[in-house]
Amino acid sequence: MTMTAHIHPDEIRTLFSQAMSDMYRKEVPQYGTLMELVRDVNHATLQADPALKSRLRAAGELDRLDVERHGAIRLGTAQELKAIRRMFAVMGMYPVSYYDLSVAGIPVHSTAFRPVEQASLQRNPFRVFTSLLRLDLVENRALAEKAEHILNKRQIVTDGAFKLIEIAEKQGGLTQQQANDFVREALETFRWHRDATVDTETYTQLVEAHRLIADVVSFKGPHINHLTPRTLDIDTVQTQMPQRGIAPKAVIEGPPSRKTDILLRQTSFKALDEEVVFQGVTGSHTARFGEIEQRGIALTPAGRAFYDKAITDTREAAAKSGGENYTSLLKAAFSSLPDDLETLRQQGLAFFSYRAGNRKVANKAANISELIASGALIADPQIYEDFLPVSAAGIFQSNLGAEDQSNFSAASNQDAFEDALGAKVIDEMALYSRIEADSLAIALTQLGQNHLLQDQAAA
């Protein structure tokens, strides 16, 4: 039997993410403008801060910046979600975390498909925030049934893509030629279709139930909703957007601006009106928007608990005061969270990845902090690779308009989501803590400091 070499799933992911970016740039020209702005701001930030640049380079983080982005899609049925899971697996992307957005009045629940290994994340951390419509939350049952019927008639993954997914599953990978074909076929799933599958009347009914339902149900497939580049300085991007003819939403979602970036900060610009033909009748649809994000260090469960409480407190206080002083309330709520990496590390609030530095150590160190202080051991922040449900809800809502913030009195339903997915979602905290533990073990072994392995949880 002749064996043809398989290419690495990381390479397929990079090909796909590039192809997606090219397609989306043609579909939404403002995306190109946004990419340029982000590239300019990142360049200026690195120029102005050589220490940041060399830290990113040493941590293997610099190269991924230019290719880094996330996409968002919205699916209609369990079969679609299963098919998409198999498609993303070919590219080394797996479902991480469960996000319940019904608590924010949005009838979806979601996961993020992304690479999970540290080396794969460094090569290309491309992720896709993937939502599944919850027709069970639609009060008008007749409309929900109609929507289900419409969805059941469409096939969002091409026959060609399915064939290659099966080959990849059977052979454990794809050859270069198969990968190229796969990327071309997979791209079709996410393309914008100007021709809706429904008539104007049905579309209007769906919009009345919820604009998001109309977005999912009325089209041939889950057009890519947005592609989000990562900036190193979101405050500057936010202020410069208007100069490039882009109007950002009022506030940046997530934590406040700090010396030490944590988790994820996001902003977006208003959704576009796109021309659509409803069974011969020209109309328009508003769903796709632009988004920018800045990523900081991943927080441990203890750090995350602080974050969640600070955000909840801020929103409550802001609601009481009419929302005007949101930014100062937010800053105040985070003022007791340490704003330097080493304190976050020593207090067990954030996740790190360890590596041995150039300096050798002669003696057995007393603890890990001592090794770090001497320069023998280096603790790089682990970038937060996931999403924040409150931010996601804010992003959804800023693009839906106030009239769509209905209250779905639904319980979170991870079991139903995993049934639809045909798999369990991976726990994000387990991924960060495994990367931390593995990297520490390797570094300590290299440094001849294995005696410190037992108390790796300690500072």
Task: Report the interface residues with ligand OOG, using CB under 6 A.
Answer: 72, 74, 129, 131, 225, 266, 291, 387, 391-392, 395-396
From CA 267, how far away is CA 233, in angstroms rounded?
12
Tokens read off for 412:
């979170």
From CA 97, how far away is CA 94, in angstroms rounded?
10
Closest CB 228 distance from ligand OOG, rounded Å: 6
Closest CB 335 distance from ligand OOG, rounded Å: 25
Q: Which does 131 bind (CB under 5 to 8 A by kind): Ni ion, ligand OOG, none?
A: ligand OOG
CA angle at residue 133 from 216 to 20, to 5 degrees?
55
Closest CB 395 distance from Ni ion, rounded Å: 6
Closest CB 225 distance from ligand OOG, rounded Å: 5
Contact between 356 and 443 under an 8 Å Cβ cutoff? The reply is yes
Question: Which residue ranges make up the site for Ni ion (CB under 5 A)?
Answer: 72, 228, 291
Tokens read off for 279:
């069974």
Q: Considering the complex, state which of residue 42 and residue 228 has its C-beta at the smaller distance from Ni ion.
A: 228
C-alpha distance from residue 224 to each of 207, 285, 397 (Å): 19, 14, 18
Closest CB 96 distance from ligand OOG, rounded Å: 13
Q: Considering the complex, state which of residue 173 and residue 229 has its C-beta at the smaller distance from Ni ion.
A: 229
Q: Which does 439 bind (CB under 5 to 8 A by kind): ligand OOG, Ni ion, none?
A: none
Q: Considering the complex, state which of residue 109 and residue 123 has its C-beta at the smaller distance from ligand OOG.
A: 109
Closest CB 229 distance from ligand OOG, rounded Å: 12
Closest CB 118 distance from Ni ion, rounded Å: 23
Rounded to the nearest 5°, which phi and psi values hold at 308?
A: -60, -40
Closest CB 289 distance from Ni ion, rounded Å: 9
From CA 71, how far away is CA 27, in angstroms rounded?
14
Closest CB 250 distance from Ni ion, rounded Å: 17
Comparing C-alpha atoms, which of 247, 249, 258 is closest to residue 303? 258
From CA 242, how far away is CA 57, in angstroms rounded?
31
Q: Which does 345 bind (CB under 5 to 8 A by kind): Ni ion, ligand OOG, none?
A: none
Q: Considering the complex, state which of residue 289 and residue 352 has its C-beta at the smaller distance from ligand OOG.
A: 289
Q: Considering the complex, state which of residue 72 and residue 333 has its C-beta at the smaller distance from ligand OOG.
A: 72
Q: Considering the complex, state which of residue 28 and residue 72 has its C-beta at the smaller distance from ligand OOG.
A: 72
From CA 70, how far away is CA 58, in angstroms rounded?
24
From CA 124, how far away is CA 126, in angstroms rounded?
6
HSE-CB at 9 with a 13 A cutoff on CA atoms is 24
Q: Which does 383 bind (CB under 5 to 8 A by kind): ligand OOG, Ni ion, none?
A: none
Contact between 345 and 368 under an 8 Å Cβ cutoff? The reply is no
Provide the pairing of β-strand 226-229 with 264-269.
Answer: unpaired
- Other C-beta atoms within 10 Å of 354: how many? 24
The DSSP letter of residue 173 is S
Q: Which does 396 bind (CB under 5 to 8 A by kind): ligand OOG, Ni ion, none?
A: ligand OOG
From CA 181, how far away is CA 160, in angstroms rounded?
8
Q: Considering the complex, state which of residue 94 and residue 387 has its C-beta at the smaller distance from ligand OOG.
A: 387
Tokens read off for 27:
């579909």
Q: Which does 387 bind (CB under 5 to 8 A by kind): Ni ion, ligand OOG, none?
A: ligand OOG
Closest CB 129 distance from ligand OOG, rounded Å: 5
Q: Which does 74 bind (CB under 5 to 8 A by kind): Ni ion, ligand OOG, none?
A: ligand OOG
Contact between 436 and 354 under an 8 Å Cβ cutoff? The reply is yes
Q: Considering the complex, state which of residue 88 and residue 129 has its C-beta at the smaller distance from ligand OOG.
A: 129
Contact between 25 and 31 under an 8 Å Cβ cutoff? The reply is yes
Q: Which does 198 bind (CB under 5 to 8 A by kind): ligand OOG, Ni ion, none?
A: none
Q: What letter represents residue 155's amino acid?
A: Q
Q: Considering the complex, state which of residue 202 and residue 266 has its C-beta at the smaller distance from Ni ion.
A: 266
Q: Considering the complex, state which of residue 293 and residue 380 has its C-beta at the smaller distance from ligand OOG.
A: 293
Q: Which does 31 bind (CB under 5 to 8 A by kind): ligand OOG, Ni ion, none?
A: none
Q: Considering the complex, state which of residue 375 and residue 401 has its C-beta at the smaller distance from ligand OOG.
A: 401
Contact between 193 and 168 under an 8 Å Cβ cutoff? The reply is no
Q: Which does 97 bind (CB under 5 to 8 A by kind): Ni ion, ligand OOG, none?
A: none
Closest CB 391 distance from Ni ion, rounded Å: 9
Instruction: Give the three-class secondary structure for 229.
Output: strand
The single residue listed with the structure tokens 């809502």 is: 397
Instruction: Report which residue's Cβ sits closest to ligand OOG.
Output: 392
Q: Which residues contact 207 (CB under 8 A, 6 or more apart)?
A: 213, 214
Q: Which residues contact 29 (CB under 8 A, 6 or more apart)?
A: none
Q: Which does 391 bind (CB under 5 to 8 A by kind): ligand OOG, Ni ion, none?
A: ligand OOG
